[in-house]
Structure formats: C-alpha cells, structure tokens
C-alpha cells in the first residue's frame, strides 16, 4: 500500500496519465463513473488524477518535515546527552520551551511570520516537531553512553569523535528512525491541515489538504470531491503507522 | 506537608519559566522576519502596502522600536504583565478585546470535546481491556480514527448526519445542537489516542498480582477493572490527556474553520491570512499558556493519585 503511494509521488503518470489541471467545463461535479472513478470537481477536473498527483506534494511535505525534525533533533539530542551539564541543561530547557507550544499552533505562527507555501509549511512542521526528537535522542544517547561497549571502545584508544560517529550515533538514532516512521503520518496530517487552512500549498496545485478545502464549499453537490482526497490521507497515515509499528515490533522481538 | 507545598511551588516555577521562554521566543521570532519590524507588526511585511508615516510612528512608539532590543523586550514583558496584548491594526481595536470576545466559544468547544473524549475512552477501555476480540476491534478503530484528518472527519460526519440523514444542521445556529458536530469531530481522534494508552495500561494492570487477589475475593471482571485497575492506569492516561490537549487546541483552529464557528482558532487563521501579527502572537501565547497550565495541573495531580509518588516527591524535596 505504502509502495503505491511512493509510486504515485514519484511517477504519478504511471497511475494517472491525465493532466491534474485539465478542466472539462462540460463535466462539472460529475459523480464517479468508469471514466472518472472518483468523479470530477467543481471545475471539471478529474479527482482521481488529482489525488494521485497530489501524493507528491503531500508526501514531500510529510517526508521533508520529518527529515528536518529528525536531523535537527538528533544533533541537539546528542549535544544534550553528551556534553557538559550546563550545555545539556540549557539545550533541554530550550527544547522544553519549544514543546510548550501546541505543535500545529507553533507551525501556524511560523507560517504567519514567514509566509505560506509548501516550503515554509514543511519547514514550520519540521521545526514544530524538533523538541520531541531532542528528548528521545538525548535519552538514547545517555543510555548508550553509559553502556559497557562505549567504555570499552574508549579503552581501546578510539578518539572521542570516532566513538561518537561509529558507536553512539548509530545506536541512538535507530529507535528514532522508528518513531520517525510513525511520525511521518502525523507530519503528513499536519501538512494537510495547514493546506486545508489555506496556509500550505497554493492553488491550483493538487495537494490533498488543499483539495479538501476546495471541496468543502461543494459538499452537498459532490461528496466525492471531498471524500477521496481525505481517504487518501487517512489510508497513507494508517499504512505508515502500521509499518512503523511493525518495524518496532520486529525489533523488540529480536532484542 | 511543607514538602508538598515546596513541590507545588517548584512545579509552578518551572511552568512560569517555560511560559517566559515561550514569550521570549515569540518576541525574537518577530525580529527574525526580514525587513522593518514595524512593517511586520502592521502586516505589510511582504505586501508592500503604503502605510502612512503617522501609523508607522505610532507603532514605533508603542513597541519602542527605536530603543535597544533588550529595552524593547523588557518593556514588552511589562505590557504583557499588565494585560496589554497590543493593538490589532487590521481590525483597529485592542487585541485583548478581540480575544475575550472569541474565547467563550473555543472554551465551550474544547471542554465539551475533552469531556466527550474522556467518556468515550473510559467506557471503551473498560469494556475492551483484557478481552481479545473487543480489544482487536477497538484497536483497529483507534488506528483509523487517529489517522483521520480532523477536517475530513468533520466532512464525513456532516455528510452522513446532515446531508444524508438530515439529523443535524450544518450551519452554526448558535445553540447547543450546533456544538455537537464540531465537538464530536474534535473529540474522536483524541478519544482514539486516549483509548490506546488506557487499554494498554489497563491490560498491564490486569496482569498484576493485586488483580488476582481481588478476583480471589470473588470480584467479577468489570468491577475489578473499574475498582482496581483503573486507578493503576490513571497516570499514563492523565499524561496523554495533558499532551493531547495541545493537539486539541490546534484541532480547534481546524474545526472552527471547517464549521464556520467563531472562536480563537478561527481568529488565528483569519489573522494569519490578513497578516494581523499582534493578534497571531496573542492567540499563540494564550494557547501556549493554556497548554502549559493544563500540563502543570496534570503533573500536580500525580501524587494525589499514586501514594508512592507522594513519598518519592517528599524525599526528593528534602534532598
């Protein structure tokens, strides 16, 4: 299922050869039919084609945001976990302050200051997600640092930097990647929410949240224009969550 | 007793510092916007609208933009403390008046949604914990609900109950009935998260020896769950409740926009659109303050629920 989403994000033409912006004035808000399996929207664009093409912006937003949150979160988490007490406390306090904002509200605030658009929205959700990753990475780093094999590698004469890169980083990051897989769904949801509020991707790009926002005005006339993009979001989030949990479970099984 | 008081004070102190940090962050974030901060405050940062020199002078005066940054900051804090949240130049009235006018509907929505989420998750968890098939069904349902975008859930509810069944009005009529849709929409994803956490910890609790003891005294399945296991599971549940309140606040912005309801969330979204930065900052700060407050209360409740934590807190305070 997830593969299907990745394919539609990378090569939407494979699944939907049509043009997502092509409007057929004669077929405004047509119900689902063999020709238009998800129906058409208020200006006659094929909803199925738009949903498939929308995967790119929606997924790019989710992946991008998680990437930002994980990368920055990991750096600061390692700093908090490994450096001297003062630096560690200060980093954690800042993370606490960041976590004190409700995530979506923080993202909206960033967008308000620096303007809307797909890029800023990705950045905003990424930044809002950083604090939680700082905490996780720090906890892991502290745990790894205290373990015997780190002491052993110091004992073998490895330089601190080598220990950090070769032992602490991989071991502290692995659990984070699992959380990130599950977090991907949340970030995609938040991105769609921002687009829905009109702060994410600008029209006429096909993006799931923006499509929903459009379709809101025609709910009584054509439910299909709203139902299918939403279904796409939900199914994507479910599949990424399930995969994240599955990786998590199989990892715990090994340990 | 004094240890408990000390603990409460300490926790309140941490919350205040966090809030102060949040205020500091928003203050300096505004200065990160490229260009003249006066333009940013007026909301013309990117639109290059003509602004009269008089208005510009008023803003410069109000925010002391000609003073050093640190002086600006201290004066800003002072104004916040006296309850002055600035002026909305778009709506041409004090920000605090705008907030007060919009706070009621959001409060009603958030409270009703929280109550709904708590009731749903409690009933759901008590009925399904420790039973294989109900647990499985419930966890599938939780996954779907937690993965559904709030705004889409609202759509589907509207579609089913208003358009197809014609049971409830779509448009906000201002009465309690019109609160039902938004509140249910907002409550369902939160309820799903809470239910997940609660069933997990109930399952753990049901495997503890004290449950066996209770059973051996002849207590039936449900009353064991309600009387003994629930108390055991309360801590992770409360933590999740506090945590998910943040999502609820964000969700309020979406729900209010979706259902065209008045409220702080909609005010936020509209202010972003009209680049009414003083209002945006005020709503962000108010929701953050509420979020911090809720989590502080949750933290302070722990020792009341779990006697072991009371002792730990006491010894911890003495150290």
What are the distances in angstroms from CA B261 to CA B97, B183, B256?
18, 11, 5
Q: Inspect the interface and report whether the beta carbons of A241 and B287 lie closer than 8 Å.
A: no
Name the residue among A177, A78, A173, A71 with its Cα closest to residue A123: A71
- Kindly state whether residues B103 and B241 are assigned to the same domain: yes
- Is B237 among the domain residues? yes
How close is the nearest chain A Cα to the Cα of B188, in Å?
14
- Domain end position, chosen among B28, B58, B84: B84
Looking at chain A, which residue has its C-alpha nearest residue B251? Answer: A104
Q: What is the ipTM of this complex?
A: 0.83
Same domain, B79 and B117: no
- Residue ranges of chain B whose pLDDT lies below 50: 45-46, 316-319
Domain termination site, one of B35, B53, B84? B84
Cβ–Cβ below 8 Å for B158 and A96: no
- Counted domains in chain B: 2
Same-domain pairing of B74 and B100: no
Do B59 and B151 have their domain in common?
Answer: no
Closest chain A residue to the Cα of B47, Cα to Cα:
A115
**In this structure, which CATH number among 1.10.10.10, 2.40.30.170, 1.10.3720.10, 3.30.70.100 belongs to the domain A49-198+206-254?**
1.10.3720.10
> Per-residue confidence of chain A (255 residues) as pLDDT tens digits?
767 776 666 666 666 666 666 666 666 666 777 767 777 776 667 777 777 777 878 888 888 999 999 999 988 988 888 788 888 888 888 888 888 888 889 999 988 888 777 888 888 999 988 988 888 888 888 887 777 777 777 777 777 777 777 777 777 777 787 788 878 888 888 888 888 888 776 666 677 878 877 777 776 677 777 788 888 888 888 888 888 888 777 766 554
Q: In sequence order, what are the beta bridge partners of B94? A: B87
* A109/B144 CB distance under 8 A: no
> Which residues in chain A have their CB less than 8 angstroms from residue B40's CB?
113
Cβ contact, residue pair B246, A102, below 8 Å: yes
Task: Please check whether residue B300 lies inside any domain of the structure.
Answer: no
Its sign, for the CA torsion A196, A200, A203, A204, is negative
The domain ranges of chain A are 49-198+206-254
User: How many angstroms separate the CA atoms of B20 and A107, rounded?
Assistant: 19
Q: Domain check: are B58 and B101 in the same one?
A: no
A205-A125-B299 Cα angle (round to 5): 150
> Would you call A182 helix, strand, or coil by DSSP?
helix
Residue contacts between A and B (CB atoms, under 8 Å): 148
B311 is a domain residue: no
Nearest to A197 among B148, B253, B275 (CB): B253
Q: Do A212 and B151 touch (CB under 8 A)?
A: yes
Instruction: For residue B286, count CB atoms less than 10 angstroms from its CB and return exposed for 0-12, middle for 13-18, buried for 19 or more.
Output: buried
Tell me, yes or no, whether B90 lies in a domain. Answer: no
Cβ <8 Å between B249 and A100: no
User: Could you tell me if B131 and B180 lie in one domain?
Assistant: yes
* B108 in the same domain as B76: no
Q: Which tens digit of pLDDT belongs to each residue from B185-238?
A: 899 989 988 888 888 888 887 777 777 777 777 766 667 666 677 777 888 888
Q: pLDDT tens across B132-159, in order?
A: 788 888 888 888 888 888 888 888 888 8
Q: Which residue of B has its CA nearest to A101?
A: B288
Distance CA B222, CA B90 (A): 57
Choose the closest CB to B284 out of A109, A237, A241: A109
Of A191, A184, A238, A225, residue with least CA distance to A50: A225
Which of A106, A185, A213 is nearest residue B147 as measured by Cβ atoms?
Answer: A185
Residues B80 and B100 in one domain: no
pTM for this entry: 0.83
List the domain range (segments joined by +) for residue B113: 95-261
How far does the CA of residue A123 sit from the closest CA of chain B (Å)?
Answer: 14
DSSP states of A69-125: HHHHHHHHHHHHHHS-HHHHHHHHHHHHHHHHS-HHHHHHHHHHHH--SHHHHHHHH
> Could you tell me if B60 and B116 lie in one domain?
no
Contacts of A185 in chain B (CB under 8 A): 147
Chain centre distance of CA B238: 14
């Amino acid at each position: 299922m997830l593969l299907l989403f990745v394919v539609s994000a990378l090569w939407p033409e494979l699944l939907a050869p049509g043009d997502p912006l092509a409007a057929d004035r004669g077929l405004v808000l047509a119900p689902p039919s063999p020709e238009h399996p998800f129906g058409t929207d208020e200006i006659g664009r094929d909803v199925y084609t738009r949903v498939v093409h929308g995967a790119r912006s929606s997924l790019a937003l989710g992946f991008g945001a998680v990437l930002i949150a994980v990368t920055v979160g990991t750096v600061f988490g390692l700093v908090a976990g490994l450096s001297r007490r003062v630096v560690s406390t200060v980093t954690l306090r800042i993370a606490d302050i960041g976590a004190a904002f409700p995530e979506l509200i923080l993202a909206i605030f960033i967008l308000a200051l620096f303007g809307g658009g797909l890029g800023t929205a990705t950045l905003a959700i990424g930044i809002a997600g950083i604090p939680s990753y700082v905490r996780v990475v720090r906890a892991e780093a502290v745990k790894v640092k205290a373990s015997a094999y780190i002491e052993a590698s110091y004992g073998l004469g490895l330089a601190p930097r080598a220990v950090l890169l070769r032992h602490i980083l991989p071991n502290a990051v692995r659990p984070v990647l699992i959380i990130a897989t599950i977090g991907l769904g949340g970030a995609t949801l938040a991105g769609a929410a921002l687009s829905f509020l009109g702060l994410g991707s600008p029209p006429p790009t096909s993006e799931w949240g923006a499509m929903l926002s459009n379709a809101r005005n025609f709910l009584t006339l054509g439910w299909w224009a709203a139902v299918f993009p939403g279904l796409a979001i939900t199914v994507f989030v479910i599949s990424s969550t399930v995969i994240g949990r599955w990786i998590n479970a199989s990892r715990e099984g090994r340990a | 007793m004094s240890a408990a008081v000390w603990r409460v004070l300490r926790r309140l102190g941490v919350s205040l510092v966090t809030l102060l940090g949040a205020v500091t962050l928003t203050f300096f974030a505004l200065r990160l916007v490229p260009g003249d901060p006066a333009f940013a405050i007026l909301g013309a940062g990117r639109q290059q609208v003509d602004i009269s020199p008089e208005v510009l002078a008023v803003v410069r005066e109000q925010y002391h933009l000609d003073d050093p940054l640190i002086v600006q900051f201290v004066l800003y804090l002072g104004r916040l403390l006296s309850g002055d949240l600035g002026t909305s130049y778009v709506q041409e009235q004090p920000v605090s008046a705008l907030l007060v006018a919009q706070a009621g509907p959001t409060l009603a929505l958030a409270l009703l949604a929280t109550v709904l989420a708590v009731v749903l998750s409690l009933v759901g968890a008590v009925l399904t914990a420790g039973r294989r098939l109900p647990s499985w069904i419930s966890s599938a349902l939780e996954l779907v609900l937690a993965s559904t975008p709030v705004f889409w859930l609202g759509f589907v509810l509207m579609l089913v109950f208003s358009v197809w069944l014609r049971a409830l009005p779509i448009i906000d009529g201002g009465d309690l009935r019109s609160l039902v849709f938004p509140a249910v929409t907002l409550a369902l994803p939160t309820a799903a998260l809470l239910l997940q956490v609660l069933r997990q910890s109930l399952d753990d609790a049901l495997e503890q020896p004290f449950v066996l003891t209770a059973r051996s005294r002849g207590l039936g399945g449900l009353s064991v769950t309600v009387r003994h296991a629930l108390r055991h599971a309360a801590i992770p549940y409360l933590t999740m409740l506090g945590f998910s309140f943040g999502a609820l606040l964000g969700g309020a912005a979406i729900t209010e926009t979706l259902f065209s309801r008045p409220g702080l969330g909609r005010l936020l979204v509209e202010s972003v659109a009209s680049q009414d930065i003083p209002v945006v900052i005020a709503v962000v700060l108010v929701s953050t303050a509420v979020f911090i407050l809720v989590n502080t209360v949750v933290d302070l409740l722990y020792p009341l629920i779990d006697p072991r934590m009371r002792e730990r807190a006491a010894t911890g305070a003495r150290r």
